[in-house]
Amino acid sequence: MNMITNHMPTAELQRLDAAHHFHPFTDKAGLAAKGARVITRGEGVWLTDSEGHRIIDGMAGLWCVNIGYGRKELAQVAARQMEELAYYNTFFQTTHVPAIALAAEIAKLAPGDLNHVFFAGSGSEANDTNIRLVRRYWDVKGMPWRKTIIARWNGYHGSTMGGGSLGGMKPIHAHGGKIDGIEHIDQPDWWSEGGDMTPDDFGLARARQLEEKILQLGPDNVAAFIGEPVQGAGGVIIPPVTYWPEIQRICDKYGILLIADEVITGFGRTGNWFGSQTFGIKPHIMTIAKGLSSGYQPIGGSIVCDEVAEVVGGAGEFFHGYTYSGHPVAAAVALENLRIMQDEKIVEHVRDVAHPYLKERWDALAEHPMVGEAKLVGLMGSIALTPDKAKRASFPEAANVGYRTRERCFANDLIMRAVGDRMIIAPPLVITTDEIDILIDRAKKSLDESYASLKADGMFVAR
């Protein structure tokens, strides 16, 4: 076998990567021409690349490395579990200690009567589970016509056929289609779509689209509503305060199951264990993944309330599951991650230290000439880039403002993502105040450079 190591020249690694590695959500040919950035190490909030750059990771990997990189305890737990029981399934009336312990711990942390965990390997798989779970629930209840699930445009729920269909991203639907029985309503993005309404009125109006959609479909045909407490991949869209209470009221009124997709917002990201607690949502099902293991192992799941678990669980076999549902190594690592989060009071650190400090510095970015609103909940934030703050205007497409700004961040050893004209962050939850200063200094420098280049190109104009 060829040995490919960190010590090979970057160009050689890039050549091999381009030849054989088909990346997710990537323009393959475009990347091959440019060469991928090769990440070689991680420690805390810091990454190192093959050129020796020390990069501050403002995205916690892909919104997941909540306890930071390089925690040896997790490596040790994985090694120990592999030696003891590397794999066994949880089908056929069998179980094992890591799955039992993790399910019990999640049930303890989750609010209300969310007491039952169906494990999956990822957030996408968990959302596919949810589609089958809610449809099965209504079948067993004697209402098989309740099949339709309502979701939001610009929501993200994964990239499998089910997850991608629940998501409201048209480019994803365009590649492979969309499964039947999923309907979308508009998102609560006041900055881009709120027009002359106040944020509060707009939040109510967008939530009421759910009621309109239910009435249009016929309440008896609707199985569930799914939403992220805060849209992540869609650009960290923090809804107006009026939004979720109205969604909750409507779901309650029509007896529709409410699924909170907590893949990003779960496990401390918003300053509580779950985003549903931050926004006062009482879901029947929560989707989890990412921060559950801090990304150290691939694991996800659905946390299911007593009622749904009793109905679906009390009607014979539920024909659904994955080889890796409750994988013992992933479960043991997730459990150790949750132990560290609790012992080191990481959620409290977000709420009492990191969020308040970052909020002050993040909000101040709105003074920058190209930043409109700056929003932050817990440790997930976005800034809207605009050539005209008063009009909340967009840049011309040719300005490529998000990509342009992201390139400056890369050059300044900061990972801050672009989604359209928004820049977003979601750093590891363990970030210190000194590291927040570094993140903000690099963000400002990148914004300054992007601003200067837009001006130089005559692109600091409204669309």
Contact residues toward ligand PXG (CB under 6 A) are 62, 122-124, 127, 156-158, 163, 228, 232-233, 261, 263-264, 287, 289, 300
Q: How far is the CB of 425 from ligand PXG (least distance, A)?
A: 12
- Alpha carbon 207 to chain centroid distance? 21
**SS3 call for 283:** coil
Q: What is the β-pairing status of strands 46-49 and 39-43?
A: antiparallel
Shortest distance, position 182 Cβ to ligand PXG, whole Å: 14
Least Å distance between CB 125 and ligand PXG? 7
Task: Give the residues across from 43 on adjacent strands.
Answer: 46
Question: Looking at beta carbons only, is 289 or 333 nearer to ligand PXG?
Answer: 289
Which residues on neighbouring strands pair with residue 302, listed in sequence order? Answer: 118, 287
Q: For residues 25 and 62, what is the distance between their CA atoms, to the nearest angstrom?
A: 13
State the first-to-last Cα distance of the chain, in angstroms, to the nearest integer. 54
**Nearer to ligand PXG among residue 205 and residue 303 (C-beta):** 303
Q: Which is nearer to ligand PXG, 127 or 276 (CB)?
A: 127
Q: Which is nearer to ligand PXG, 163 or 194 (CB)?
A: 163
Which of 249, 273, 255 is CA-nearest to residue 110? 273
**Closest CB 447 distance from ligand PXG, rounded Å:** 20
Least Å from the CB of residue 163 to ligand PXG: 6
C-alpha neighbours within 13 Å on the C-beta side of residue 196: 0
* 168 versus 240: smaller Cβ distance to ligand PXG: 168
* Structure token pair of residue 113: 């009567």
Judged by beta carbon, residue 57 or residue 228, the one nearer ligand PXG is 228
Residue nearest to ligand PXG (CB): 123
Nearest distance from C-beta of residue 278 to ligand PXG, angstroms: 15
List of residues 6+ apart from 248 with CB closer than 8 A: 258, 280, 281, 282
Tokens of 47: 């990454």
Q: Considering the complex, what minimum distance in angstroms separates the CB of residue 289 from ligand PXG?
A: 4
- CA–CA dist 197, 453 (Å, integer): 33
For residue 64, the minimal CB distance to ligand PXG (Å) is 8
Cα 428 to Cα 291: distance, rounded to the nearest angstrom: 10
Q: Which residue lies nearer to ligand PXG by CB, 346 or 426?
A: 426
Kindly write down the DSSP assignment for every residue of 3-43, as one continuous string.
Answer: ---TTS-HHHHHHHHHHH---TT--HHHHHHH-PPPEEEEE
Q: What is each CA distance from 52 to 31, 216, 409, in whole angstroms?
A: 21, 57, 16
Specify the DSSP class assigned to residue 69: B
Nearer to ligand PXG (CB atom), residue 162 or residue 387: 162
